[in-house]
Structure 1
Amino acid sequence: MPPSAGVDRAPRAAWQAALRGAVLAVACLASTLAAAEGQPGTSIATSVASRPAPAQAAAQPAAIAQRIMVLERQGRARPQETAAEVDAEITRVAPFSAAHRELLTVQGLMLAEAADGAAAERSALALDDWHLHPGAQEAGLAAGAALLIRATFAAHGGHDLKRADALVQEALGRLPPEVSDLDRYRFVMVHGYIKDRAGQLEEAVRLHHQALALADQLGTPWRRAEARTALAYSYFGARQLERARQLSDEALALASEATDWVGLGRAHNTAGIVLDGLGDQDGQRFHFEQAIACAVRAGSKRDEARYLANMADFYLKKGEFRTALLHAQRALPLARELRDPDSELVALANIGFAHISMQHLPLGKRFVAQAIAIDEDRGALAGAASTWLELGGYLEQAGDLRGAVAAYHKHRKLMAGVLRADEQKAILAMQEQYDAEQRNRSLALPQREQQIKAEQLHRRDLQQLLWALAGGVSLLSFGVIVALLRRVRQANRLLSASNQVLRQHGERDPLTGLANRRAFQDEMKRRAADGMLCGTVYLIDVDHFKQINDHHGHAVGDAVLVEVAQRLRATLREDDLIVRWGGEEFLVLVQAMAGDHVDALAGRMLAALEGTPVAVQSRQVAVTASIGFATFPIGPASLPVPWERAVNLVDTAMYLAKAHGRNRAYGVRLRQAANDESLQAITGALEAAAQDGRVALTLLRTEGQAKPVEVAA
């Protein structure tokens, strides 16, 4: 299934609904609440005619607050039905009151999280009306809540995280200075979810820690459980697996205490994801099975569909394809009944992958095509590209190499559309902004930053004092002034060193210590003002890395990446640039070399990575890589190429290496002079260009120290 599904998409989507609420025994609660309002035996949906008499007014606020909590909790499992109950409850409260505002907020959030955009927008529009009524209570909070509902739908239903983040920021700007812990909790949880999905894990962890503290202050067990589930998932994304496991265990205990079947299901689901990262497959299966059982008991069909999709992904990894197919087939009708495109496409993709793995290739491809069509129809091209990529992997395993290459080309074509040059610049700008934010918030450097600020203030005070003393030099000895000058110079040196530490932190990958994309972009600016690349580029992708994570756990996967970085360092020269390009990909940039030296270096890197298995935790993990490479300017006419397009070309060559068996390298050389437009066409159809003679592809393998071989494709 697609990388963003299962342990990436479906589990994330499973806890992403973590703001919704759990199912209690409704009849029992109805009786309790009716009694609290002084109306024994009255239905929960009490009519307007049966509002409490004035003598009961003092008891009403507490009863309404309890009722709202019940609706919020219940709405996580059955949002549409609960939204109708909220409508009935609204008729029982004063218009434009605090209770009215909170009911609309709860209603809008549960519908937005269920991706019912039209219904959620009705709640948001009702909150927008607050400013039209001078006597309305909490007008600022109502305006913020309307924006929060829209942000929630943008993240859950619209898959537009940039817009969602902007809406939350605007919502926070509308809030009055004094906000209750409960309202603040709702805002922080939504914001943390958005940051988590956007991959800004450090910020997500910070926000979810705030949510956990607020939940503990509120003291409600099911909220305390959902806050821990959310934080556990953020820690999982940040590879803090033991901390994630501890939090998921706490969430399980609290959800059990609250008899919260929805929360318990989500806590089990997150626990399964964490144990997957720790390599505990038996524990993962147990928790996924428990999550499904809890979703069934809660009556939460949306969660049930997502957990079934998780189980399908689990069985695909285990090679139990028929069992995976059964789980995905159970998830599909539920997803369609709920009109949940995320769960539907995950189920379709898993059905297709199971059929392909059982050699039902045409049938499997049809199901995967339906999954891809869902993403393409709603404009989620990155998701569609991701599914094409995984399809290529399944087809390759099934022996359909031609189909695998075609799928990889589809992936490349879609990614080229997603990452057009103008969009790349926007993405890089956002990445730079995030890197700056990350440095400022780095948990490892708060003391250093405080020290820098203190030194800046200290330097300013010393300089002011120095000039004052200079004005009255007759009153002080020359030696005192010299000492102060030394103090200023020392402060300047400390400030310069501290700034250097911050700069290095922002340009280094924290896991491997290699340069990151930010450092590579800065290097491109230094080497060529026009952005044209000069040198030989190698793009290296660790083979079957997902399987390493699946079979051994993410801790072992991280150790493999560290070892790969060390072996590349040992193979290359000190002045060669090695970049952690992303995930299991590494980029190497060296000065332009003669053709035979370029090929020889690719061969040495292949051999260095394949040579000895990586020893981790008493395990021996075999490692190989696929490499694409080319030298720029390229071709007989030395065509200048922007670095983004150069990376795209070697990326395509690297995918050819993967499609044709892995543990090999493909080098690209232009045979004909070409312009920028024709180079783009070659990048999109590299094999065809090799067959018609526009490019030459050089194949390198390590078996028997074979010499480079020029191939047609």
Structure 2
Amino acid sequence: MSAGCKASPVEMSVPALCRGLVRIVACCVLPMAAVATAADAPPPLQQQIVALEHQGDGQPREAAQALDRLLNSTAPFSPERLELLTVRGILLNMASEPEAADQVAQLLEDWSRTPAGNAAASAAMLVRARGLALRGNLKKADTLINEALLKLPAGPSPRMRLRYVLTQARIKDDSGKLEDAVRIYHEALTLADQVGEPWQRAEVRSSLAYVYMEAKQPDRARRLNAEALEIAMQAQDFTALGRVHNTQGILLDDAGDREGERREMQMAVDAARKAGARNDETLYLANLGDFYLKSGQFKTALTLSEEALPLARELKDVGIETVALANIGFAHISMKNFELGKKYVEDAIAIDERRGSIPGVSQTLSELGTYLERAGDLPGAVKAYHRHRQLSDEILQRGQQKAIVEMQERFDAERRTRDLELLNRENTLKTEQLRQRDLQQRLWWLLAATFVLSFVVLLVLYRRVRQSNQALESSNYQLLVQSERDPLTGLANRRHFQAAMKQLAADGKLAGTVFLIDIDHFKRINDRHGHNAGDTVLVEMARRLRDTLREHDLIVRWGGEEFLVIVRALGSDQVEALARRMLGAMAGSPVRHEDSDIAVTGSIGFATFPIEPTLLPVSWERAINLVDTAMYLAKAHGRNRAYGVRLLHARDESKLDDITRSLEAAWREGQVALTLLQGPSPTSEAVA
């Protein structure tokens, strides 16, 4: 699996989240002199709870049992008992004992009629939210932790609030809500520094570093994880060290440092074994299996993943189970055991679907397509890529909806401001009119002048209101234009495309030539030169496409490194000539970024609709699916080339869908005629 799909201890369900509460050995809490002189004297109860919470991060079952033995040492309905039960419920969930955790939550709910009722009810919600997240119900867990924070009485200790905030942040991260996760993790970071426990300070930083990596901010991620490593090493906390090394391995994977990734992952396994943290050890074994999988050592990857799977199921950790299942599937596929491999991957996808993790499903499908393509199962790869694209569209649509809501909020705010100004002006006018009426009664000879003055005021106000409305219309138009443009490349985005389709396909059927273009090996460019270089390549490719096409042709930033072009229907010679020009424009000269020359090529799928010879009317969605499949053929057969669908024998849309799903087979059977265009040899990549 890729770095984006690799499991972090804090990314995995809230169990994994729960692993953010780490071990503090009781002897580290007590001064050494006190241990030597009063070995039999137990530490204060609060310190014992904190020490067991720390221990429970790596050994949750044993720590939960020790907390149970301390229960009688606390007074009924006391703050100490509330904290003890809260921590014990958390640890029981981590130990995969949901029934016992629910019993603790029920005990807390039974306090609702006591003076500490709100605090206990809130703690019960926290325990239940962690259990729900552990069992994969992220949506309900998110709702419950939000309610728990609202119910939490004002002024809790930083340590108690930290438990809630960490839970909320990790659920947001698991649900793919990265912006919310970053914001809430920063609050957790402040709280952890207030609490002052090294293990919490280290692990919150490592967790936030992982989210920054997911949000494509690698520099911030590396700085935060370096801070976490320094804190964990000073404390010699092996649980925290394991998690920091695991996150560092994921960061190095994202940066393309393969040897560094392997080293950090092995260090994470070793640290977890020293800490006796079986959950973490299982996770790191799964991640190490992922490394060997991407390194082409499929048998080693399969062995490690098969070792991790039963441990994950024994621990009832669905996050680790998902990683292990997917990696077993990818290893089998890479060794040509296609059906068995697909079964394991589908099992992993089913778990993410039950958890409501759409980004996780989408990422797994993308990787499935990649592994099937490499192993030679092209039809299977195309099917996986289509499923991935559908989910990517859904995620993108959510982002567009959010942007539209934000734009509407700005519009409403501007309208309210202008309405308020108009109301103030109207009030001024009313005051003036009352004053004039009073003057009229006393000074009749000023009536004419008052009338003229009122007329002038009304005229001025009318002109100002008209100018305000014109400015508002201009502002709304600018907002609309901005919402339909990709901020990086300046090209149209999918929202503009959907609006354009209402004109280009007014009857629901597309008439025109469609090209779908994908930059080859774009991830390799990011890995080798950094994400800023990737942005430079995207901007330059957008410029070259604009220079190649006419002003009225539609060019859309379709996805991460994909561009969609729609032109009026062209003859076959013109279509092929345009495809050649676009291939040449992309590969003609390297893209300059800082001191590097980056060679770039692209793969293209294209077709003109309606397609000869049947001239079947086709919706724009089906048209794009067809050229999308043609583009994947171009990538699968060597890249830097274009495949065009010239003829397609389909008399209804059902037959068209069948051909689209198995385009290469239909080509061999004569149901489809394809045109292959080879791109020019790219300029060799060089570093100045």
d(CA) in 1 for partners of 2:13, 2:232: 16
- Residue in 1 that maps onto 2:61: 80
Q: Which amino acid in 2 is paired with 1:138? A: G
Structure 1 residues 449, 144: closer, same or farther in 2, change over 3 A?
farther
- Taking a change above 3 Å as real, the CA distance of residues 187 and 451 of structure 1, as seen in their structure-2 partners, is farther
Return 429-438 or 601-610, whichever deviates more.
429-438
The one-character-per-residue Cα deviations of 1:187-213 (angstroms, maximum 9, x if unpaired) are 333333233334333332222222223
Look up the match of 1:435.
403
Pick closer, same or farther for the CA change 1:699–1:225 going to 2, 3 Å.
same
- Mapping for residues 61-210 of structure 1, pairs under 5 Å: 63-95=44-76, 97-112=78-93, 118=99, 120-131=101-112, 134-135=113-114, 137-139=116-118, 141-158=119-136, 160-176=137-153, 180-210=157-187
Aligned partners of 1:68, 1:101: CA distance in 2, in Å? Answer: 11
In structure 2, what is the Cα distance between the partners aligned to 1:275 and 1:15?
25
TM score, norm. by length of structure 1: 0.77
- Residues 1:656 and 1:129: Cα distance change in structure 2 (over 3 Å): farther
Which TM-score applies when normalising by structure 2? Answer: 0.80
Could you tell me which of 579, 584, 593 is aligned with 2:556? 579
Decide whether aligned partners of structure 1 residues 409 and 142 sit closer, same or farther in structure 2, where only a CA change above 3 A counts.
farther
1:664 corresponds to which residue?
A: 641
After superposition, what is the alpha-carbon deviation per residue over 1:560-595, rounded to whole angstroms, capped at 9, x for unaligned? Answer: 333333333333333333333333333333344334
Give, as a single letter, the amino acid of the residue that structure 1 aligns with 2:282. Answer: A
CA distance in 2, matches of 1:502, 1:516: 14
Task: Indicate yes or no: 2:203 matched with 1:240.
Answer: no
User: What is the Cα deviation at residue 77 of structure 1?
Assistant: 1.8
Q: Which amino acid aligns with 1:465?
A: T
Q: 1:26: how far off?
A: 3.4
Q: Which amino acid is 1:28 matched to?
A: C
For 2:464 and 2:540, how far apart are their aligned partners in 1?
44
Structure number with greater Rg is 2
Contact 1:668 1:697 in 2 (8 A): yes
**SS of the residue 1:17 aligns to:** helix
In structure 2, how many angstroms separate the alpha carbons of the residues matched to 1:645 and 1:163?
A: 36
Q: Secondary structure at the match of 1:582?
A: coil
What SS class does the counterpart of residue 586 from structure 1 fall into?
strand
* Selected match of 1:603 from 575, 580, 585: 580
Whether the 8 Å contact between 1:548 and 1:557 is mirrored in structure 2 is yes
Gaps of 5+ in 2: 437-449, 683-688
Aligned to 1:557: 534
1:5 and 2:5 aligned:
yes
- Contact 2:650–2:656 under 8 Å retained in 1: no
Correspondence 1:45-444 to 2 at 5 A? 63-95=44-76, 97-112=78-93, 118=99, 120-131=101-112, 134-135=113-114, 137-139=116-118, 141-158=119-136, 160-176=137-153, 180-278=157-255, 284-314=261-291, 317=294, 331=308, 334-335=311-312, 337-347=314-324, 349-350=326-327, 361-362=335-336, 365=338, 368-369=341-342, 371-375=344-348, 378=351, 380=353, 387=364, 389-394=366-371, 396-397=373-374, 400-401=375-376, 403=377, 405-412=378-385, 430-436=398-404
Distance in 2 of aligned mates of 1:440 and 1:344? 42
Cα deviations by residue, 1:364-401 (Å, 9 ceiling, x for unpaired): x577346315325547497677556535534654xx53
Matching residue of 2:428: 465
**Structure-2 separation of matches of 1:323 and 1:554:** 31
Would you say the 8 A contact 2:365–2:388 is kept in 1?
no
* SS of structure 1 residue aligned to 2:558: strand
C-alpha distance in structure 1 between counterparts of 2:649 and 2:663, whole Å: 14
- Give, as a single letter, the amino acid of the residue that structure 1 aligns with 2:272: A
Shift of 1:674: 2.9
Structure 1 residues 322 and 191, CA, compared in 2 at 3 Å: closer, same or farther?
same
Amino acid at match of 1:612: S
Number of aligned residues:
662
Q: Take 2:211 and 2:383, find their aligned partners in 1: how far apart are those partners?
A: 32
Shift of 1:496: 4.5
Please tell me whether the aligned partners of residues 511 and 568 of structure 2 are also in contact (alpha carbons under 8 angstroms): yes
C-alpha change, 1:517 and 1:40, in structure 2 (3 Å) is farther
Task: Verify the 8 A CA contact 1:15 1:266 in the aligned structure 2.
Answer: no
**8 A Cα contact 2:22 2:239, kept in partner:** yes
How much does 1:408 deviate? 0.6
Alpha-carbon offset, residue 632 of structure 1? 4.1
Rate the CA distance shift 1:189–1:688 in 2: closer, same or farther, 3 A: same
Aligned partner letter, 1:536:
T
- Residue equivalent to 1:51: none
Q: Which amino acid aligns with 1:250?
A: E
**2:446 aligns to what?**
none
The letter of the residue matching 1:26 is V
What runs of 5+ residues in structure 1 fail to find an aligned partner?
45-62, 706-713
Amino acid at match of 1:310: N
- Output the CA distance in 2 between the equivalents of 1:348 and 1:672: 40
Encode CA deviations 1:208-232: one digit per residue, 9 max, x unaligned: 2222233334343333333322322
**Partner residue of 2:604?**
627
Match of 1:696 among 667, 673, 684: 673
Change beyond 3 A, Cα 1:320–1:557: farther
Corresponding residue number in structure 1 for 2:546: 569
Determine helix, strand or coil for the equivalent of 2:642: strand
CA apart distance, 1:334 = 4.6
C-alpha deviations, 1:455-511, integer Å up to 9, x for none? Answer: 664454345434544665639676666555555455545545554554455444444
